[in-house]
Structure 1
Amino acid sequence: MSLLDFEIDDSALQRVVSELGAAPREVRLSYNRALSRTAATLRKMSSKGLQSELGLRRATVLRRRIKSLRAKQGKGSEVQLWYGLNDLPVSEFKGKVHTGEGGASYAGPAGSHRFPNAFAARSERAGRRTIMRRIRQSRLPITEERLPIKDRADVYVEDEIFHQLEDIFWRHFRRDLEARVRYLRSK
């Protein structure tokens, strides 16, 4: 699990407000909308970027694991992005699965991994070749092997996503506040 949190500079906020001559209500509404839109933009960027970075077949696996949390405190509010970075099943990754002597192996964009005492099989859930392991000595039950994503995902989010966060917020805030001042006051 990883949590992304950021702070807004009050002096920069006041500078934009005084430049546009916005009312406090317009500022509060624009601020909340900019937070929501920033969270949505970051979720979308994270989903697309992590899919290619980790070598996943589908982005839906990640979309379920990225949540935005809204918290109101005092006179302001904040948004946090939560990333569920538990290991993913091998069938969710692009790449090749091989059964060899003593176990199975995976090779693909997520790197090379060996799983001793495992075997390649077709997953009932995903319908693709994956790596399975017996839980006991008997034939059943079996479980699908998983690959770690936390380290690579943390590095990507910190370097690529978090780096753009302030620019995205200010773009959304300024655009919304300008529209509120220009168009909504004229009515």
Structure 2
Amino acid sequence: MSTRGSRGRRSSPFEIDLGELQSLGAALGATANQMRLAYSRALNRTVQTLTKASVKLMRQEAGILDAKTIKRRVLSFEHQRESARELGGMKLWYGLNQIRLSELRGMIEGNASWQDEHHKLRDPKTGRYVSDRETSTVRFRPRGAALKDTDFMDAYVGENRKGKKTIFVRGEQNRRREAEMDIYAPMLDKIEDDIFQRVPEIFLHHYETDLKGRVKAGIHTSLRGKRSGGRYRVD
């Protein structure tokens, strides 16, 4: 595995320069409480922005069909603060395990098909029923921009339980199973480039926008969520 791939297996914390946030607050004449509240609001909006961008990325780059499937593979969490004075954090989780072909947009190329769902033939040696399945190499051409054409050996084309055309391969004990595609490596690269790299920029934008609004409107919300005029002192 490449260095980049190994790095992706570990958690990827996002470091925010608190000194830069404090300098911006001082330049705007914001109170410590306004900066803390702007930080919390910016964190929440950053999570929303990144989640929306991640869903779009999974749809375009992996070509996942169903919106529910994408949402199950893109989850966001906010760090639970132990006190109102503590700064929160966030975490993004991506489900990059293999995915069934029927859940992806793409084209199937191959003529091998399931001729009869019922067993008709017996093995002359064991006497067990065997299938009259015809298999060969079947190719799947994904429409997701990050995925490449993949050939499946000893495979055939059939319909899954939902009646959708897909590719089946021979699994353990010769049991058929739907073919799956590996999306980990290509999607990890796209997430690092298109999502992780944008975190500081997105957070700072939301923080500055919210803080300017609070200072201009003179909003000083107490730690209990009550608004009051004038400056709020934090001991």
TM-score, with structure 1 as normaliser:
0.86
Larger strand fraction of residues = 1
Answer whether contact 1:48 1:59 (CA < 8 A) is retained: no
Specify the alignment match of 2:205 in structure 1.
171
Deviation at 1:40, TM superposition (A): 1.2
Deviation at 1:120, TM superposition (A): 1.1
Specify the alignment match of 1:111 in structure 2.
148
Instruction: Encode CA deviations 1:130-158: one digit per residue, 9 max, x unaligned.
Output: 112344667xx632111011111111011
Choose 1 or 2 for highest CA Rg: 2
Deviation at 1:82, TM superposition (A): 1.0
Specify the alignment match of 1:82 in structure 2.
93
Specify the alignment match of 1:147 in structure 2.
181
Answer whether contact 1:2 1:85 (CA < 8 A) is retained: no
1:21-36 to 2 correspondence within 5 Å? 21-36=29-44
What one-letter code is carried by the residue in structure 1 that aligns with 2:51? R
Structure 1 segments, 4+ long, off by >6 Å, are: none
Q: Distance in 2 between matches of 1:104 and 1:17?
A: 60
Q: How big is the alpha-carbon RMSD for the aligned residues of Structure 1 and Structure 2? A: 2.3
Q: Which runs of 5+ in 1 are unaligned?
A: none
Deviation at 1:106, TM superposition (A): 1.0
Q: Distance in 2 between matches of 1:173 and 1:10?
A: 11
Deviation at 1:21, TM superposition (A): 1.5
1:1-187 to 2 correspondence within 5 Å? 3-71=11-79, 72=81, 75-97=86-108, 98-100=110-112, 102-109=136-143, 110-125=147-162, 127-135=163-171, 142-183=176-217, 184=219
SS state at 2:92 partner = strand
Deviation at 1:112, TM superposition (A): 1.6
Q: Distance in 2 between matches of 1:73 and 1:181?
A: 27
SS state at 1:96 partner = strand
Answer whether contact 2:102 2:165 (CA < 8 A) is retained: yes
TM-score, with structure 2 as normaliser:
0.70
Deviation at 1:169, TM superposition (A): 0.4
Q: Identity of counterpart residues, as a percentage? A: 32
Q: 1:42 to 1:3 in 2, by over 3 A?
A: farther
Aligned length: 184
Q: Which runs of 5+ in 2 are unaligned?
A: 1-8, 113-134, 221-227, 230-235
- Of 34-43 and 74-83, deviating more is 74-83
